[in-house]
Each structure stands twice: as C-alpha cells, then as structure tokens.
Amino acid sequence: MDIKAVVLAAGKGTRMKSVTTPKVLHQIMGKTLLGYVLDNVKNFASEQFVIVGHHAEEVEKFVKDNYSNAHTVLQSPQLGTGHAVSMVCPALVDYDGLVIILCGDTPLIKEETLRKFVEFHNESMSDLTVMSTIFENPTGYGRIIRSEDNKLECIVEQKDATDAQKAIKEVNAGIYCLNWKKFKAAFGDLKTNNAQGEYYLTDIISWGKSQNLNVNAYILEDSDQIYGINSRLNLAEATKMMNKRNLEKYMTEGVTIVDVNSTWISEDTVIGQDTIIYPSTYIEGKNVIGKNCKIGPCAHLRGDVEVLDNVKIGNFVEVKKAKISSNTNVGHLSYIGDAELGERVNIGAGTITANYNPLTKTKTKTILKDDVKIGSNSVLVAPVTVEDGANVGAGAVITKNVPAWALALTRAPLKILENWVRKRK
C-alpha cells in the first residue's frame, strides 16, 4: 500500500528565543531538524507534505531546494495540530493509502523505527496506530489512556489531564499511521472543547473509536528517539544524544574514536575501518572518509568532503567541499576548500586554498594533481591547477597554473645585513 507523509512544521517555537530562524531550521551538526525528519521518511513515503506557518517562506525555500518529492502546505491561521493535518485534505481527496504523520522537531527518530511502526500497523490490521513510549518523567506530553482490557481509548493532553491521568507514564510520541480513506472525515469533525481552544490531532483516536475502527498503540522502547526540540537546552541535549549514538555506531564498525567526549561526527558521514579520529575533531554534514585514515586532533570537516584511503588530515585543519585522494597528507593549520587533491599529495603546514572572491561573491576550485608537493605557508588562489609532480616552494602565492614537474616560487630574494643587530645595541 502506498504511503505518504505529513510533517508538522508550522510552529513558532517561542522557547527557542530566535528572531530569524524557525524552530525546524535550527541545526544539529550541519543539518536542520526538519532535514533529519524528511530524510527518515523519503525512502519509503512516495510523497511528503510539510505543513508550514511561522517563517513559512524560509521553510518553503529549504524544502524546495533540498527535496524533490516534498511539498509545503500553508497553515494560516494556526489552530492546532488537527487543523494542521486537515490542510492536506484537498491534496489527498481521492487518496486511498497510508498516511504517516510526524513532527518536524524530532530529529532523533530513525527510518528503521518508522518502517517497523508501519509494519506493526499493517500486521495489526489497524485503521489508526499511534506511537507511544514510556517516560519516567512524562511532564508536558499527552498521556495514553487505555481501557481495562489494555486497549487504546484516547490521548489526553497535559493541560487537560486529571491528576490520576498525569501519573500515567505512557505518553504520545506524536507519530501516527492511518488509513487515510477511513480517517479523512475525522478532520472535519474535530472540536475545540479543550484548554487550548485548538483542534487536537489526538482527538482522531476518540473519533475512530466512535466509528468502530481498529485503533492501536505501538510502544517504542527507545524513548530517546522521540525527544522533541522546544528550546536551546533541548537542542543541546538532542545533539549530545545523537552524537553518542553516532560514535557508538562508528566504533562498532571498526573506527577508533580516541576521545568520545570531545569528538562530534554527523550521522551522514561514512567512515572506513581502521580510521582513527583524534580528540576535538568536529565533522558535520555529509562526508565519506576511507579506510586507515588519521583525522585530527582539532580538525574540522564542514561537509561535502570525500577522503579516500590512507589520508592524514592533521591538527587544526579545516576541509570543506573537497576531494582528497589516497595516500595524501594535509599538514596542520591548513584550509582546504572547494578543492580536488590527487594521490600522494603533500600539503605543508599553513597552506590556504583561497577559494572566495569577495567582489563577485563566487567560489572557485583548486586542483592539485598526483604527487604534488606544496610548501608551508603557501596560498593557492583559485581557480588554479597544479599539474602532476609539480612542487610549490614554501611561502609562495600561486595565481597561475603550474605545469607538471615544475617548481613554482614567488619568494623575494633573501638579504642578510651582517652585524645589523650589534650596531643598534
């Protein structure tokens, strides 16, 4: 059965205290919260609808620029989560398949979890399945209310819950799977008789029960995955949680992380076996790192970096949008951006690829072919190509292409004034 996804991303995120950035576009290791959610549904949902509201133009641009099968739907005014989902009803008027509903501020949810959730829905022959989890401190979450025979009855929001209901530890994870054809009518029947005066998405459960539809709850054991971001404190905590699981995955796959407390690696980075990541290294965005590499300490990979096997990226090196071929060494205190480095290249300490033109505001590429040697404190002013085997002397500023096996120098002649110091004492 076909699956479509609806992602709720219209909220203002008041507690984020941000003037310019909507909550769902805040980032964890170079990737937006909304990006994590969309990436986790795009491989099994044929189409994604993102409900936008606060800072709608920014969110729309992000979706349009990055996701070909995702569409934005404006919710204005914003009258609650049930009202938000109802915004897709015109687009799905004749749709007969499954709809999975998620929140755009839960970046820790895994694709594997969502697939298992849908499998449970199908195997249980459910018309609606809500994901739940157990929290020792459930404050702020809607409570899962079950009947005496342990069947799902309804969800009660924190502000509407009685004291007895507030003591319940099973909470709503905010993710739903429903047979759209059977439930689309629910969105026209929702009421606002609650403390918030809003149309609650959770009320579709009671509606389904009233229609004698099969309603179930799927308990997620790993409650960390539905951790929501509502403040900068939540953002920092989610970042730590995500990094911990990323590092554990890499170490399990044969990567050495020297210091897990100071190393940060994005989940969209692929790292080969026997690579060593030294302390205080920060790797964000999408990257591929080969086998038997040494990265850091204090290195920064900013995304779109491809590192082949047996590469060393030294202390205080920054790399961005670059390919570094096998057996190449990038010495400490260097910047490699918008560049392509061949095999067996040696980059001396303090080398800069000057890739940005501040007048045209464009970036251009530096290409170093195989066996090139760059002396320390050199500047390679892009666009520039250094052909195979060429050497660049220390302290050079390279503004023209260098032919193969040549030596390029821009060094002023050395002058020595004997006894200059003694005469001035």
Catalytic residue positions, numbered:
332
- Total count of residues recorded for the chain: 425
Cis peptide before 138 (omega within 30 of 0): no
CB 263 within 8 A of CB 244: no
Q: Give Cα separations from 286 to 117, 241, 294, 321, 326 (angstroms).
A: 27, 19, 18, 10, 19
3-state secondary structure of 346: strand
User: What residues form DSSP beta bridges with 353?
Assistant: 380
User: What residues form DSSP beta bridges with 4?
Assistant: 47, 99
Spatial distance between the Cα atoms of 176 and 127, rounded to a whole number of angstroms? 11
* H or E element in which residue 303 lies: none
CB 296 within 8 A of CB 315: yes
Spatial distance between the Cα atoms of 278 and 383, rounded to a whole number of angstroms? 32
